[in-house]
Structure 1
Amino acid sequence: MPAYVAGKPAPADAFKLSSNENPYPPLPGVLEAAVTAAASMNRYPDMGNTALYAALAEMYDVPVADLAVATGSTGLIYGLLSAFCEPGDEVVYAWRSFEAYPIAVLAAGATSVQVPNTADGRHDLDALAAAIGPRTKVVLLCSPNNPTGPALTQTEVDGFLSRVPDDVLVVLDEAYIEFVRIDDPVDGIATYRRHDNVAVLRTFSKAYGLAGFRVGYSIAPAPIAAALRGVTLPFGVNLVAQAAAVASLEARPELEERVEALVAERTRVVEAVRAAGWRVPDAQGNFVWLPVEADRIAAFVEAAEAAGITVRPLGSDGVRVSIGEPEGNDRLIKIAGSFR
């Protein structure tokens, strides 16, 4: 089983653009809530996640029975595959996509069926539908797709779901949903309401900036959510993380301001990199994908490190670079312009 490889840490004088982290500090009120909760660190966290479930249920107008939380959306992926897959079962997903997918499939004893993305980094939904067979238990849709960037439309997802058997679980992984700016974007919550076999995954790690606390949540029909809660680690989301997540939901206006600022930076970076001659796929997350030639990836990574930024090489396919502080983004633009 391959190990999950995290983004390379950055030296103190460098910008870390390798892990899709939010460069902003905690939202207003979040640090205070975390510090207050930390005073009770001698106690176990609320295993029922009562306050967090209540806040999510109110925000999305969904029953608490349809919610599950875990250590990031990655923890939820592992849980779903553990709950629904047995040895010999198949999990269908696009590739390249989130690095944890093939590892989680192996951990569940299942078999990966990887469907290549289109040339512009998008899910090939026709090919994904065609790959579903009698042993398929789960299909993973990553929108926006990490690391390539494009997001699915509601029309695309509706058409795809019409071709999926009712006994196949479709997981809509929306870790970067807050950054999407396209026509006809997927409404994951509305989609789950219309289908008994759709689970939506979201996280506090990206837009909310709680990557260090690891809090993800799923919204799914009650039987799916119950199965997920049944296999997730007891007390998995610690008491400080629960308090920080609840406080983050209360700071929605400030969240939206920060997301808009990151989207504006993303637009600036994409336009500059494309002007330098790069073919960058549609970027809808808080990162950009650079299809660096396989034999030049190491040189690009070295050039980035020499310029004071860390980036994320992914196999022989290319390099993903997070949108960070403007100065770090400026360094990326300079490197991209000189590397062509």
Structure 2
Amino acid sequence: MITQRSNIAAIPSYRPGKSTVDGWAGPVYKLSSNENPYPPLPSVLEAIARAASHIERYPNMAAPELTLAIAARQGVLPEQIAFGGGSVESAAQLIRAFAGDGDEVIFAWRSFEAYPLLVSGAGATPVQVPLTADHRHDLDAMLAAITERTRVIFICTPNNPTGTVVRHDELHAFLAQVPDDILVVIDEAYVHFTNDPEAERGIELFHEFENVAVLHTFSKAYGMAGLRLGYAIVRDDVHEGLRKVAMPFALTDIAQAAGVASLAAEDELQERVDVLITERDRVRASLAAAGWKSPDSQANFVWLPAGDMTDALNTHLANLGLIVRPFTGHGIRVSIGEPAANDAFLTALESAPRY
């Protein structure tokens, strides 16, 4: 029998969201994966079709057109951009390049469920720092968790799955106290849905602090989850490490073309983001009016901190055709979908077990 490495054998497998509900004959709404519910723009589909006619060739690993477009959009140098298959792959590259056996990687918990899997898979030790009572990063506790073995710190803001943000001033104060040989990764996968003026501004912090990297993705606001396109904004020394661990030719020409077309159509895409933000705020207001506890979300999802009632609440929602993301013993994350989906969710809660 082939034996896995001990650190790999101990890792639980990632659970993808379900797409069907057994025993339910009505409409099914998949609100479990934080996807954009709207189809790609026609201009993006046209770019995809053109790129698909050349898939007999390997893609251009340099991604020159997309690199220049992102650099212009973010106000950084082209050589400060490193691509991955979604921001989760960029996070994995950062961990593989800068943390290994004997090293520690700090992140809040609960936060993005892939963090402990990626860290353990690289042979490093995950250090989980509990969120505060109001479901936010406890930056003081994260500072206290730093040891001589700490190599990387992840700050997920808006935080997945709670939707809460780290304020710019508090993150600035945090970074000023982190040793400059520790890489601090600001994961902004959901930043396009943030309208809180006090929320952190990752690019500004990247320009100010030498040890900061910023993660972005096209999966959420841009509606490209199926093409797997993300990127890290990093300095030269970090970029060199990422080049060594990146999968060759992983960024397809199709994803590159779709990314360029999406950036060119940002005004049109912003209209969809604005609709989702309006729907998120409507859902949150309805939850509050009905007495459901839910933190202020600045992402495209809401968090129900159901605790021990999580599984019962998830079963109730599933029985009514609603696929959500449960975290047993903690709570349920519910993506913001089209208005009909959100209405179905709110209606289902009227008969749901309370936590």
Using structure 2 for the length normalisation, give the TM-score: 0.93
Identity rate, percent: 50
SS at match of 2:96: helix
Q: CA-to-partner distance for each residue in 1:204-243, whole Å, 9 max, x for gaps? A: 0000000000000111112112211221101111111111
Counterpart of 1:316 (choices 323, 329, 335) is 329
Q: Distance in 1 between matches of 2:166 and 2:20?
A: 32
Q: Distance in 2 between matches of 1:186 and 1:244?
A: 28
Assess if the C-alpha contact under 8 Å between 1:65 and 1:226 holds in 2: no
SS at match of 2:239: helix
SS at match of 2:152: strand
Q: Does residue 336 of structure 1 match 2:336?
A: no
- The residue number in structure 2 matching 1:110 is 124
- The residue number in structure 2 matching 1:4 is 14
Assess if the C-alpha contact under 8 Å between 2:307 and 2:328 holds in 1: no
- The residue number in structure 1 matching 2:257 is 243
Assess if the C-alpha contact under 8 Å between 1:286 and 1:323 holds in 2: yes
Assess if the C-alpha contact under 8 Å between 1:28 and 1:251 holds in 2: no
Q: Partner letter of residue 306 of structure 1?
A: N
Q: Give how far 1:28 is off.
A: 3.9
Q: CA-to-partner distance for each residue in 1:52-97, whole Å, 9 max, x for gaps? A: 1111112122111101001000001110000001201000110000
Q: Give how far 1:107 is off.
A: 1.1
SS at match of 2:334: strand
Q: Give how far 1:259 is off.
A: 0.8
Q: Partner letter of residue 99 of structure 1?
A: E
Number of residue pairs the alignment of both structures matches: 339
Assess if the C-alpha contact under 8 Å between 2:86 and 2:231 holds in 1: yes
Q: Does residue 210 of structure 1 match 2:229?
A: no
Q: Does residue 302 of structure 1 match 2:312?
A: no
Q: Give how far 1:273 is off.
A: 1.0
Q: Distance in 2 between matches of 1:314 and 1:238?
A: 33
Q: CA-to-partner distance for each residue in 1:288-309, whole Å, 9 max, x for gaps? A: 0001132x32222222122221
Assess if the C-alpha contact under 8 Å between 1:69 and 1:229 holds in 2: no
Residues 279-290 of structure 1: pairs in structure 2 closer than 5 A: 279-290=293-304
Q: Distance in 1 between matches of 2:162 and 2:349?
A: 17
Q: Does residue 200 of structure 1 match 2:210?
A: no
Residues 61-140 of structure 1: pairs in structure 2 closer than 5 A: 61-140=75-154
Gaps of 5+ in 1: none
Counterpart of 1:221 (choices 235, 240, 265) is 235
Q: Partner letter of residue 348 of structure 2?
A: I
Q: Does residue 156 of structure 1 match 2:156?
A: no
Q: Distance in 2 between matches of 1:301 and 1:113?
A: 28
Q: Distance in 2 between matches of 1:315 and 1:199?
A: 31
Q: Does residue 189 of structure 1 match 2:199?
A: no
Q: Partner letter of residue 123 of structure 1?
A: H
Hey, which bits of structure 1, 4+ residues long, moved more than 6 A? none
Q: Give how far 1:193 is off.
A: 0.6
Q: Distance in 2 between matches of 1:93 and 1:199?
A: 14
Q: Distance in 2 between matches of 1:199 and 1:37?
A: 30
Q: Distance in 2 between matches of 1:60 and 1:297?
A: 39
Assess if the C-alpha contact under 8 Å between 1:149 and 1:289 holds in 2: yes
Assess if the C-alpha contact under 8 Å between 1:273 and 1:337 holds in 2: no
SS at match of 2:225: coil
Assess if the C-alpha contact under 8 Å between 2:153 and 2:185 holds in 1: yes
- The residue number in structure 2 matching 1:278 is 292
Gaps of 5+ in 2: 1-10
Give me the CA root mean square deviation.
Answer: 1.2
Counterpart of 2:45 (choices 15, 19, 31) is 31
Q: Distance in 2 between matches of 1:286 and 1:76?
A: 21
Assess if the C-alpha contact under 8 Å between 1:34 and 1:244 holds in 2: yes
Q: Partner letter of residue 133 of structure 1?
A: T
- The residue number in structure 1 matching 2:275 is 261
Q: Distance in 2 between matches of 1:227 and 1:293?
A: 40
Q: Distance in 1 between matches of 2:310 and 2:142?
A: 29
Q: Partner letter of residue 5 of structure 1?
A: R
Assess if the C-alpha contact under 8 Å between 1:27 and 1:208 holds in 2: no
SS at match of 2:184: strand
Q: Distance in 2 between matches of 1:223 and 1:309?
A: 46
Assess if the C-alpha contact under 8 Å between 1:276 and 1:336 holds in 2: no
